[in-house]
Structures are given as C-alpha cells and as structure tokens.
Amino acid sequence: MDADKWQITRFPAPVLQEPARPVEEITEEIRRLVERMVDVMIEYKGVGLAAPQIGVNLRVFIVSVDGARENVNVYINPEIKVSGELEAHEEGCLSIPGVYANVKRYKKCTITATDLDGQRFSREARGLEVRAFQHEYDHLEGTLIKDRMGQVQLISARKQLRHLREKYEENRQASGA
C-alpha cells in the first residue's frame, strides 16, 4: 500500500461500493493507514472516515465526534448491533461532496472492534457518535448515503451524482486507467 496515494476517494469509485476485507493482522502498515486516515479526516473536517474512503479496501474506520485529533478512536474489524428507534437526520459524506440526505439511523448501538494494540473492546453509543458508527460501518459494507436516499432525494441529488460520475471518468481517462 502506498501512503502517498491515500486521498479522499470519490463516488463512483468501485472501492466505495463493495464490502471491505477484514484486517488479518495489526502491522506497521495498518498503523500508517490509520495515521493517514486521521490526517485526511482532520483536513476535510469530518467526524469519521472509513478506509475505503481513501481507496483502501479494509475493515477499518475512525471516529472523533468533535473532529479533534486527540479524540480519534480506531475500529478495526468492527461488528455493530443497533437498537432503539429510528431517527432521521441530515448527513453528508466526504466521498460524495455536495450531496446531503435525511438518513434514518438507529438511536443506539453497541460496537465491538479491535484497537491498534490488537485488543477487542465494546462500547455503547448514542447521539452523533451512534450515527457516525452506522455511517462508517455502511462504508465497510459498500453502502453509501445515496443508497439510503428515497426517490425524491435521489432526484434532487441527480445532477451532483452525474457531475461526480463525469469527473471520475475524466480522471480515469487522464491517468490512463
């Protein structure tokens, strides 16, 4: 893996639309990946970021609900159990800039994951954190906010999604891919 190439990956890149692979071992490369993810999340003023969002098809995401580097938590090979009622709130996504959608998410969840020391842990979440966990977990499953939009929201986002597809195709052709 080439850390210099780890930049925000935009829709419709295939890595964003396929399930991510499990991390087999916590290596220095995984640690570098997480460091780069933190840098990118902070740079783009996000509260979470999944590895597929920087083009790496691995089951890793980070969350910092206040966007502060010192409050970033790492979730490797996470499992999530949702509970409670559904609640709709507007969400955006660093990989689909300019597109916002009211997405229904569960109000509570328990996440079990591995940290960078290889230790399994569990924690419960509510509020913005529970939304961030579900959003980032969706990325590991190959699900984007556009996949959670209703027909009316998709119609209103159609122009921006088309623009992102065209820009992606231009970039692919320019790079000879």
Instruction: Give the residue numbers annotated as catalytic, written as ranges.
Output: 136
136, with CB counted inside 10 A (0-12, 13-18, 19+), is buried
CA dihedral 162, 168, 170, 175 (to 10 degrees): -170
Cα distances from 105 to residues 2, 62, 72, in angstroms, run: 34, 18, 22
CA distance 23 to 58: 6
DSSP state, 15?
G
Strand 120-126: give its sheet, edge to edge.
48-50, 60-63, 73-91, 101-114, 120-126
